[in-house]
Amino acid sequence: CPDGQKCTVLGSGNQPVYDCVEDDGSKLPFEPCTPEPSTGQDQCPAGFACIPSEPGGGNGLCLELCLADNDCEASLCVAYPGEVVPVCAPICNPLGPLCPEQQGCYRVRNSAFVCRYTGMNDFGVTAEPCDIVDDSGCAQGFVCETGQIIPGCAGESCCTALCDLSDADPCMAPMSCGELPLDPLPVFDSVGACYVPQ
């Protein structure tokens, strides 16, 4: 973009539209902001945009825009549930999450944990239904896994609690703390889940 302008995302349709607008950046990354999808004048710094905490909402945080993982540092490029704009979501430890205010540590892509907003349906706990394709529907500290390994699950997939493979087993019998059934990234090797071994 020319001097005095910033590249940001405009519109709220099915595809993000990027354009140069006047650089009004006075806020810092992860600062609270008010989304301005029609003008981009959200006071976020260049390369960032005010992403609402819920789709169409009036409150959000200044988050870094991206197109691919290599655009991000110590983060993954993901779109939040209900959003089409990808942002750099910081990688986090779900066993001791340190995420910006308004965000929690959730699994994405069935392989990594990042800081993101809590989705409208992200409240499921053990044996409650979830969406294993989108990896959504579970509360922080829980993950969505195949229903056949979770006692009491009436659907194809249900939430189950996370656990620390290097610590005492906190799971309720007949479940035990085992490796995540879906291969996690190496940084999450100590993160397990409660389920019945097959």
Q: Tell me: the pLDDT tens digits for 55-93?
A: 777 899 999 999 999 999 989 999 887 778 899 999 999
- In this prediction, residues 43-66 reach a mean pLDDT of 90
Is the same domain home to 190 and 96? yes
Last residue of a domain, one of 66, 83, 112: 66
Is the same domain home to 95 and 60? no
| 153 contact partners, CB below 8 Å, separation of at least 6 | 127, 129, 147
Report pLDDT for 165: 93
The total of structural domains in the chain comes to 2
Residue 83 belongs to some domain of the structure: no
- In this prediction, residues 130-150 reach a mean pLDDT of 92
Is the same domain home to 137 and 56? no
Report pLDDT for 10: 87
Residue 80 belongs to some domain of the structure: no
Greatest distance between any 2 Cα atoms in the chain: 63
Is the same domain home to 162 and 107? yes
Is the same domain home to 98 and 55? no
Q: What digits encode the pLDDT tens for the residues 12-23?
A: 567 788 999 999
Is the same domain home to 141 and 198? yes
Whole-angstrom CA distances from 80 to 53, 54, 164, 166 are 9, 9, 26, 30
pTM (2 d.p.) = 0.84
Is the same domain home to 110 and 61? no
Report pLDDT for 23: 92
Residue 36 belongs to some domain of the structure: yes
Residue 78 belongs to some domain of the structure: no
- In this prediction, residues 42-60 reach a mean pLDDT of 89
Domain range enclosing 159: 91-198
Is the same domain home to 185 and 151? yes
Residue 22 has which token pair?
């006047």
Please tell me the number of Cα atoms within 13 Å of 37 on its side-chain side.
Answer: 17
Is the same domain home to 112 and 50? no
59, 45 contact by CB (below 8 A): no
Is the same domain home to 188 and 96? yes
Is residue 169 packed enough to be buried (19+ CB in 10 Å), middle (13-18) or exposed (0-12)? Answer: middle
| 112 contact partners, CB below 8 Å, separation of at least 6 | 76, 91, 184, 185, 187, 188
Q: Cα-flanking dihedrals φ and ψ of residue 129, to 5°?
A: -65, 150
Residue 81 belongs to some domain of the structure: no
Residue 79 belongs to some domain of the structure: no
Residue 55 belongs to some domain of the structure: yes
Is the same domain home to 111 and 147? yes
Is the same domain home to 118 and 171? yes
